Amino acid sequence: MAALPYIVGNWKMNGTRAMLNEARAIDRSAARFPKVQVGVAPPATLLYRVREAVEYIGVGGQDCHARDNGAFTGDVSAPMLKDAGADFTIVGHSERREYHSESDADVKAKAEAALSAGLAVILCVGETESQRDAGDAEAVVGSQLEGSSPRVDGAPEKLSVAYEPVWAIGTGRVPSVEDVAAMHKSIRAKLVAIYGSAGADVRILYGGSVKAENASELLGIADVGGALVGGASLTAESFLAIVGAAASLGD
């Protein structure tokens, strides 16, 4: 049985308590779409409050430290996220890789820490514009998967991969349907190479300027099992339009 499409909102460094109203609205409406799995990743300061405010949707972190505790000022560990009510965490987002210089080994350690804490993991991979223009996109993403994918028992069952072409994030630019299809096919092959037959069931999300206007087309591509949504997830109206697009594909 195929997994439900997975639509996740990454709020990034946005949101104060006023955003709880959006979380409640997303939760109430998402309950109308039982054929879609929905989650939001608020900033850490809101995670516990969002968990208390919602009943239906999943709630996750945007990152976690690879260690459970210690002298790491400002960081948040996977057990802390779990204790605050998180179901999952994102690791390896391109903004973490770029602005915090996170290596594949760093991302792998975080993913394994999250799994050990009982969290599901959304592992992000993606190429820059210069890497795509050089014809290296699939090789770059394959290398990221090889170096970042967790290698612990049961990992593929709690793992999703989010393909986010770095040059499309927040720019309004979107790869062609053919480009997305080719990359997701390549990712699928790499997951099977890493995990064997279990890799065939890992959901591969698309992330990169997903919005209501293009959601149906993107979600209809083979091997696209959902979406990691940035700016369009900050309001219930725009985010739920994407959830609705995912639900309509099963009609």
Active site residues: 93, 164
Q: Specify the DSSP element, H or E, that contains 68.
A: none
Helix/strand/coil (H, E, C) string of 118-146? CCEEEEEECCCHHHHHCCCHHHHHHHHHH
Q: Cα(148)–Cα(112) distance, rounded to whole angstroms?
A: 10
**Pick from 215, 195, 219: which is nearest to 205 by CA?**
219
Question: Identity (one letter) of the amino acid at 114?
Answer: A
Phi, psi of 111 (to 5 degrees): -60, -45
Using the structure block, give the residue that is written with the tokens 């929905």: 38
Q: Cα(249)–Cα(216) distance, rounded to whole angstroms?
A: 7
> For residue 4, how many C-alpha atoms fall within 13 Å in the half-sphere facing its CB?
12
Q: What token pair was written down for 122?
A: 């959304």
E strands, the chain, are: 6-10, 37-41, 58-61, 88-91, 120-125, 159-163, 203-206, 226-229
